[in-house]
Structure 1
Amino acid sequence: MTADADTRHTKPEADAGIRDEDGRLLASFVEGVAEAIGANDTARVRELAGDLHESDVGDLIETLQADDRPKLIELLGVHFDFTALTEVDQTVRTQLLEELPPETVAEGVRDIDSDDAVYILEDLDEADRAAILAQLPALDRVALTRSLDYPEESAGRRMQTEFVAAPPFWTVGHTIDYLADAEGLPETFYEIFVVDPAHKLLGSVPLDRLLRTRRSTQISDILEEDPRTIRATDDQEDAARVFERYNLVSAAVVDDGGRLVGVLMVDDIVDVIEEEADEDLRALGGVTGDEEISDTVFYTAKSRIPWLLINLCTAVFSASVIGLFEATIEQMVALAVLMPIVASMGGNAGTQTMTVAVRALATRDIGGHNARRLVGRETLVGLANGVILAALIGCAASAWFGNLQLGAIIATAMVVNLVCAGLFGILIPLGLDRLKADPAVASGVFLTTVTDTVGFFSFLGLATWWFGLGLGA
């Protein structure tokens, strides 16, 4: 797979007038493109969209009506950069690729980096993917097939197979001359990889070191013998963590035999970090990681209903706790007014702790060395916040209903619930992680159940006990 010269990046004058001050595409610009598409005005479409950056083209594709998207690609012809398809939602990309002829897609992916080509093809059905791959030259087809054979969300899926490798006996001068004359080199690279005849990685030479060394020096004399490497089967999130930890801009990807098979670039890792953060954020709300705003109503409803059903069951359980104190609530209506406050504050406090815990688990900042300390810290934080809030709500409830004892009861329940919120806000994610379940997805439902149940039970239970003894007003 070859990389063309960089003609994708937008000139400043080409960007002018297509976005508003908030960064959204102007409606007038989108309408102009849609009108040109409707009139089959190739010249006008290319004038408006032919020189845009792939990110702008991606936004344009998502904004256009579904019927206009394939027509845009058809009218742009050779001016359409298929890298733009990496900038659109998965649903839009898949639907668009299914409507385009396999020959058109194959021609487009030939001219982009292999990692982008894999990203575009990986979500297609096996038959559609095979039809596109069949149109590619043998070498390109083999390279893409090998990358697609790696597990989903692995480094092998994110790496690009274009890289610069040299034998250790080359001199600096030979290497520089090769870089100046060779065709088909990667569009962007930061280091030269040094390999043996079996293509096993021996080390790497950063470009700045190469250019600062005399031409007669052998590559083997200036290579870094132990560069940071990533296995092709490693999870992409683990690869991103390596980049973050060691401030890398690129890293060699090797197979199980230590042979060089590709390279990961920092721009790929930025995409991975964004994807993983987006997935965790959605999971905290019980939304599947692959849901997009372009998905259909049916698909969206189907993907959300499982956790809503679980939440319904836990809500019924929490409500049953209230039912245990029905007689108490009938005798004192103020309890019905105040009890949601205790449960709500516990839920909010627990969510704060849970969010910190889930994020720390995702970044591997929580382990056996500090888990106990963090559990203790969050419990004490819950106690401190509980005391402060208890004083406020206790005074407010006493003044509201003219009953000091009721204020003391809700204050005590508030402290109990916030301590439990801090404790279980970290214990639930830790427990789910230990059970190999995704804490981001499941923690919220279970934590809400705990804080609601404890909040209702502590408040109503204390009220029943206190006023049931005849000590109340």
Structure 2
Amino acid sequence: MAQDDRSLEDDVMLAETPDEGGRPDDRIDDERMDEENTLKREFVRSVEDALEAGDTGEVYDLVEPLHPADVADLLELFEKDERHQLATAITDLMTSEVVAELNDYVREEMMEALPADAVAEIAEQLETDDAVQLIEDLDEDDQKAILAELDPEDRTAIETALSYPEETAGRLMSRDFVAVPEHITVGDLIDFLRDERELPGDFFEVFVVDQRMHPVGTCQLSWILRTPRGVQLGDVMKRDQTLIPAELDQEEVALMFQKYGLISAAVIDDDGRLVGQMTVDDIVHIIAEEAGEDALLMSGAGEGDINEPIREAYSSRVRWLVANLGTALVASLIIALFGSAIEKLVALAVLMPIVASIGGNAGTQTMAVTVRAIAMNQLTSSNTRRILGKELRVAFLNGVTIAVLVGAATALIFTPLLGLVIALAMVINVVTAGLAGVLVPVAFDRLDQDPAVASSVFVTMITDSMGFFAFLGLAVAMQVV
């Protein structure tokens, strides 16, 4: 018996040990994938050539070995017409896994080109959250046509998800979970998990509920496997659990997972009933999406997706450029007030962009730190004053350092008095930049507006205007001209 146990253990160890020199993922082919695990240009070109030659058999043979995620990447690399040709050539490879991995814009475009029954067939193969993502951006008429083709159970689940606001837990959660009553034993639960045919494909824990479907505890699968069969589930389950309201914003959900180290968590409705679950794989997508979204919003680039239609990209970007034009006029008006002084001393025109530029960069640094702190719930009403004081001290030190450098250089090239003027202006503007970099995002947050959206426009206006005003104003007041 001991010998048998050792043999079994050896077999397990052998199963867990990868082949030396082998790759962890056998889908990575040197002919198709480069060292960064992206499709090689030569491979993409070979697919293009086969499409142009009308050799659909060759196209299929090239694409068939790819992982669904790589098939999605390949589709995104083609133009719209070629993309449809490729999809036609590999029809049975266009699985739900491929569709789920597609870029939002590409997926929407392809779904609009398919009949409603074809989209419904794909949606029925997907998890509820992926199915919702598949149809949520389509026109209302298209949504209704697709929903009409679905099975009643799937249609109800998707309609319920669509009733929640976008980017909330209710919209993103999976409705496939395992929930059991508290009074059963661990053995009963194991038998249920073995016999039940409609379990979710992947789950990490079992939710324990009362008669009203309210979560009362949770059991990780590892606990269940290591607990004797006769133990009551109520004696082994963890009663303290993190519950996520269905209306909670996805960014807040991600923060909860990060803060409490969650793998999965129950989602509850307004009545406290269990309606779904969020898992860590969902959170990875949310974190990546929110991080990219904040960076793009701060630059005024809209969604910034390379597959975004030209009209939408133009619309999202041009409005912020127009706003920048308006704020730039404020700085121009300040320069115009000191036009006569600039005419008398050309050095003022040479030096004033330096003051504005350094102030702008300092403001951007502080604003980026503040926006991130707000997004991570690190900056709240209870510590705003302390953080503001800290950033002002950092700004003062930065301002003095830059002021010494630029003031000394200006004194050597022009005059000592002009060096003193630009040094003082630099300190004033960098400190102002630190103040604006904190207060502008905080103000937007207090007004329930996304601080990443418009903060950069106003911070830039403040630093440019103050930079010009401080430098030119000091130059006139100190009679440099």
Q: 1:343 aligns with which of 344, 356, 366?
A: 356
Deviation of 1:209 (Å) = 0.7
Cα deviation code 1:134-190 (max 9, x no counterpart): 222111111122112211111011111111122223221222122223222212111
Match of 1:421 in 2: 433
Q: Equivalents in 1 of 2:33, 2:184: separation in Å?
A: 50
Match of 1:368 in 2: 381
Match of 2:139 in 1: 125
**SS at structure 2 position matched to 1:203:** strand
Q: Equivalents in 2 of 1:206, 1:168: separation in Å?
A: 14
Match of 1:412 in 2: 424
Q: 1:446 aligns with which of 458, 463, 470?
A: 458
Deviation of 1:379 (Å) = 1.1
Q: 2:411 aligns with which of 390, 398, 422?
A: 398
Q: 1:355 aligns with which of 349, 362, 368?
A: 368
Match of 2:202 in 1: 188
Say if 2:118 is the partner of 1:104: yes
Q: Which moved more, 1:278-287 or 1:219-228?
A: 219-228
**SS at structure 2 position matched to 1:12:** coil
Q: Equivalents in 2 of 1:303, 1:159: separation in Å?
A: 29
Match of 2:5 in 1: none
Which letter does structure 2 place at the counterpart of 1:323?
Answer: A
Match of 1:139 in 2: 153
Q: 1:66 aligns with which of 80, 100, 120?
A: 80
Q: Is the 8 A contact 2:27 2:67 kept in 1?
A: no
Q: Is the 8 A contact 2:27 2:66 kept in 1?
A: no
Deviation of 1:200 (Å) = 2.4
Match of 2:469 in 1: 457
Q: Is the 8 A contact 1:70 1:100 kept in 2?
A: no
**SS at structure 1 position matched to 2:208:** strand
Q: Equivalents in 2 of 1:215, 1:79: separation in Å?
A: 44
Q: Equivalents in 2 of 1:306, 1:107: separation in Å?
A: 40
Which letter does structure 2 place at the counterpart of 1:114?
Answer: T
Higher relative CO (Cα under 8 Å, sequence separation at least 6) belongs to 1
Cα deviation code 1:373-412 (max 9, x no counterpart): 11111111111111111111011111222x1111111111
Deviation of 1:100 (Å) = 1.5
Which letter does structure 2 place at the counterpart of 1:416?
Answer: I
Q: 1:305 aligns with which of 308, 314, 318?
A: 318
Q: 2:269 aligns with which of 255, 262, 275?
A: 255
Say if 2:218 is the partner of 1:204: yes
Deviation of 1:443 (Å) = 1.1
Q: 2:478 aligns with which of 456, 466, 469?
A: 466
Say if 2:329 is the partner of 1:316: yes
Q: Equivalents in 2 of 1:393, 1:218: separation in Å?
A: 74
Q: Equivalents in 2 of 1:136, 1:368: separation in Å?
A: 48
Deviation of 1:199 (Å) = 2.4
Identify if the C-alpha distance between structure 1 residues 38 and 216 changes in structure 2 by more than 3 Å, giving closer, same or farther: farther
Match of 1:378 in 2: 391
Q: Equivalents in 2 of 1:380, 1:57: separation in Å?
A: 52
Which letter does structure 2 place at the counterpart of 1:409?
Answer: V
Q: Equivalents in 1 of 2:319, 2:198: separation in Å?
A: 49
Give the aligned length.
458
Match of 1:163 in 2: 177
Deviation of 1:269 (Å) = 0.7
Cα deviation code 1:192-213 (max 9, x no counterpart): 1112333222221110110111
Q: Is the 8 A contact 1:30 1:64 kept in 2?
A: no
- Aligned Cα RMSD in Å? 1.9
TM-score, normalized by length of structure 2? 0.91
Q: Is the 8 A contact 1:164 1:185 kept in 2?
A: yes
Say if 2:63 is the partner of 1:82: no
Q: Is the 8 A contact 1:191 1:206 kept in 2?
A: yes
Q: Is the 8 A contact 1:329 1:336 kept in 2?
A: yes
Identify if the C-alpha distance between structure 1 residues 310 and 75 changes in structure 2 by more than 3 Å, giving closer, same or farther: same
**SS at structure 1 position matched to 2:149:** coil
Q: Is the 8 A contact 1:201 1:259 kept in 2?
A: yes
Q: Is the 8 A contact 2:300 2:316 kept in 1?
A: no
Q: Which moved more, 1:51-60 or 1:360-369?
A: 51-60
Match of 1:277 in 2: 291
Q: Is the 8 A contact 1:83 1:116 kept in 2?
A: no
Q: Equivalents in 2 of 1:217, 1:179: separation in Å?
A: 16
Identify if the C-alpha distance between structure 1 residues 400 and 24 changes in structure 2 by more than 3 Å, giving closer, same or farther: farther
Match of 1:4 in 2: none
Q: Is the 8 A contact 2:27 2:65 kept in 1?
A: no
Say if 2:436 is the partner of 1:430: no
Which letter does structure 1 place at the counterpart of 2:187?
Answer: G
Which letter does structure 1 place at the counterpart of 2:273?
Answer: R
Deviation of 1:329 (Å) = 0.8
Q: 2:234 aligns with which of 220, 232, 254?
A: 220
**SS at structure 1 position matched to 2:138:** coil
Deviation of 1:242 (Å) = 0.8
Deviation of 1:359 (Å) = 0.8
Identify if the C-alpha distance between structure 1 residues 183 and 79 changes in structure 2 by more than 3 Å, giving closer, same or farther: farther
TM-score, normalized by length of structure 1? 0.92
Identify if the C-alpha distance between structure 1 residues 100 and 40 changes in structure 2 by more than 3 Å, giving closer, same or farther: farther
Cα deviation code 1:35-83 (max 9, x no counterpart): 4445665544443323432321221111022123234334433432223
Q: Which moved more, 1:354-363 or 1:68-77?
A: 68-77
Q: Equivalents in 1 of 2:410, 2:335: separation in Å?
A: 20
Q: Equivalents in 2 of 1:164, 1:269: separation in Å?
A: 20
Q: Is the 8 A contact 1:159 1:264 kept in 2?
A: yes
Say if 2:164 is the partner of 1:150: yes
